[in-house]
Structure 1
Amino acid sequence: MLNRLLRPAALLASAGAITVLATACGGGSPAASGDAPAYPALASSATCSQLRTQNPDLAGKTLTNAINPHTPGYESISVSDPTKYEGFDIDLGEAIGECLGFKVNYLPVAFDALLPTLQSGQADFIISDIYATEERAASADFITYSKVNDGVLVAAGNPKQLTGIDDSLCGTTTALNKGFVEVPLVEAQSAKCLAAGRPPAQTALFDNNADCVQAILSGRADSYINDVNTVARFVKDQPDKLARATAVTLPYSIGIAVPQGQLPIRNAFTAALTEIQNSGLQTQLSQKWALDESAIEAPSLITAS
C-alpha cells in the first residue's frame, strides 16, 4: 500500500486517552475516510471486529507512525510518486490500523530521533525496522515480530576482506546510522583492535541508510552493517559497485515501539499483530517486499520492567 507523505500539525491529547494527530493538509488521513480496506479479510475477521469493539479509543482515529524513510523494502519514499511512502513496515502499520479501525499518518525523522519523537508525544508508535533492545526499552515498550540477521555491505570485490564484526574491522571505517545497535558493537571491537596493537575500528555516523551507502561508494567508509534484507536490496540495486561480505547473527528482534505503560494500545497492537501473523498476512508482506531472509517471530514484549 502506498500512502500520502503528510506531517502532523497539531497534537490532541486528553487525560488517559491515546494521543491522536491531525494532519497539516486538508483531507485528513493518508487514506480517505470510507475507502475500501486494503486487507478486507483481515478487517472483517472475527478477531479484528472484536478488537475494534474493545478499543473504542482507537477506532475512527488517526495515529502517527514515526519513521526513518530511507530503508528500501521496509520504509522509503516511492520512486514513482515522491508524495508517498512504501514498504513492508508501511503496509504492516496500515494492516494493524485496519484491524483496529484507525488511519495512519507519518512523521519522518532521523533514526536517532525516533524514540525521542515517541516520548515527546509527537508520534503514537514506531514501525521503522527498529531493533528491540533492553536499552531502548528504557524509552518505550516493544512488541517484537521478526528476528534480526545483519549483513555487512562492502564495495564490490570486498577489497578489505571483511568477515564481520571481528578483527577484520581493525584499521577500517564502518558507516552506521546514529543510534544503531551496531555502533557500540563496532566500538567494542575497536577496543579489542587497540589492545592487540592494531589500528582501531572507526565509525562514521550518519542520519540515514542512504548516506551510509554513499559513504562506501565515495570511499569514505569501508563497510555498512544493517538488516540483511536492507543490505541485499542495496546490492541488488548496484551489483557492480556493492557486495555483501557476510551475515552476522545478533541477539535481537525487530519490534514495534509504543509509549511506555500505555497498556490499551500495547495490548491492542499485540493482538492485532498476532491476528496478522495467524492469517499469513505478515508472510505475504515479506514476500511482496522481497524480504527473503526475514524470520517471523511470534509477538513478545520487551519492556523496562
Structure 2
Amino acid sequence: MKLKTLLITLCMPAILYFGSSMAAEPIRVAIDPTFPPMEYMQQGKRVGFDIDLAEALAEKLGRPLEYTDMDFKAMVPSVLAGRSDIILSAIYITDDRKKVVDFTEPYFSAGLVILVNKDNTSIKGPADLAGKRVAVQVGTKSVSVLNREYPTAKLIEVEKNEEMFNSLTSGRADAVVTGKPAALLFAKARGTSKVLAEPVTHEDYGIAVSKREPELRAALNKALEQIRADGSWQRIYDKWFGAAGN
C-alpha cells in the first residue's frame, strides 16, 4: 500500500504538468473567412456561425484559438502538413476527405435547399419543382443536381447570388435552389421567403481534425454534445439564422 501511494505521489506532478500544458496549447484553426454567414470578415474582425461555434467549443475545452486565414483549397494540406490542427470552415464531410483527415460528428446539416416566397403553397418539396421556374447560380452544384434529378424543372441560370434571389422576389422564378446557409440568411434578412424543410441534397458540415490527434477529435465531439445539451448551439443558430425555415 505504501509503495502504491508513493508511486501515485511521484506521478501526480507529471500528470498535472501534462494536463495543464495541453490545456494551455492553442487549437490552430484553418479558416477561409469568405463565406457568410458561416465565416467572414466584418470591420477587420472574423464573424459568423462557425466563429461563434469555435469560441463555444474552445470555452468547453479550456483552450485558446489560433486562426490562420487561407484559401479553402489550402486548408486540408495545412492540416496534413501539421500547420493546423483543425478545419472549422463550412467543410463538407465526404468519403474522399475522410481518407486523409478525420471528422467530428456533424455540427450543421447543410446541402442544397429550396427557397420560395412565403405565400407559395404549390411547392412543398423537390418533387414539386417539375415544370417550375427555378433560379440557380451558373456553374454550381445546383445546376448539375437539378439537371440530373429533376430534368423537367425550368432552370433560370444567373451569374450572382443577388440576381438569383431577386428572381424570386420579382416573380421571375418560382423557387431558388442554393446552399442552406445562404438561403437561411436571405430568408431571415428579407422576411418574405421561407426555406422548405425537405432538402434537395443531404450534406453535413463537420470539423476536420488531423489523424495525428484522435484525442482532440474525441474532445471536440464531447464539447459538441455539451453545447447542444446546454442550448449554446441553438442560441448561435438563432443568432445567425433565426426561424427562417417553415
* Length-normalised TM-score, structure 1: 0.54
Larger Rg: 2
| Count of matched residue positions in the alignment of Structure 1 and Structure 2 | 222
Counterpart in 2 of 1:174? Answer: 136
Provide Cα deviations, 1:24-67, integer angstroms capped at 9, x if missing partner: xxxxxxxxxxxxxxxxxxxxxxxxxx999648446233512313
**1:244 to partner: Cα distance:** 3.4
In the superposition, relative to structure 1, how do residues 286 and 168 fare at CA in structure 2: closer, same or farther (>3 Å)? closer
**1:143 to partner: Cα distance:** 1.0
**1:251 to partner: Cα distance:** 4.1
Counterpart in 1 of 2:5? Answer: none
Provide Cα deviations, 1:232-285, integer angstroms capped at 9, x if missing partner: 321332356xx3363334544332111235313222322333333344332333
Aligned ranges 1:175-214 → 2 under 5 Å: 175=137, 183=141, 187-192=144-149, 198=152, 211-214=160-163
**1:166 to partner: Cα distance:** 4.2
When structure 1 is superposed on structure 2, of 95-104 and 165-174 the one drifting more is 165-174
Percent of paired sites with the same residue: 23
1:226 has 2:179 as partner: yes
- 8 Å CA contact 2:116, 2:196 repeated in 1: no
In the superposition, relative to structure 1, how do residues 290 and 147 fare at CA in structure 2: closer, same or farther (>3 Å)? closer
Tell me, in whole angstroms, the C-alpha distance in 1 between the residues paired with 2:125 and 2:16.
44
- 8 Å CA contact 2:188, 2:243 repeated in 1: no
Unaligned stretches of 5+ residues in structure 2: 1-14
Counterpart in 2 of 1:3? Answer: none
Counterpart in 1 of 2:12? Answer: none
Counterpart in 1 of 2:115? Answer: 153
Provide Cα deviations, 1:139-192, integer angstroms capped at 9, x if missing partner: 43211244526532368987xx766544726775522786xxxx2x75244135
Partner amino acid, structure 2, of 1:77: M
Unaligned stretches of 5+ residues in structure 1: 1-49, 295-305
Bigger proportion of residues as helix: 2
In the superposition, relative to structure 1, how do residues 234 and 118 fare at CA in structure 2: closer, same or farther (>3 Å)? farther
* Length-normalised TM-score, structure 2: 0.64
- Two-structure CA RMSD over aligned residues (Å): 4.3
Q: After the TM superposition, which segments of 4 or more aligned residues of structure 1 sit over 6 Å from their partners? A: 155-158, 218-222
1:70 has 2:35 as partner: yes
Bigger proportion of residues as strand: 1
Tell me, in whole angstroms, the C-alpha distance in 2 between the residues paired with 1:104 and 1:172.
41
Tell me, in whole angstroms, the C-alpha distance in 2 between the residues paired with 1:247 and 1:52.
49
Partner amino acid, structure 2, of 1:217: N
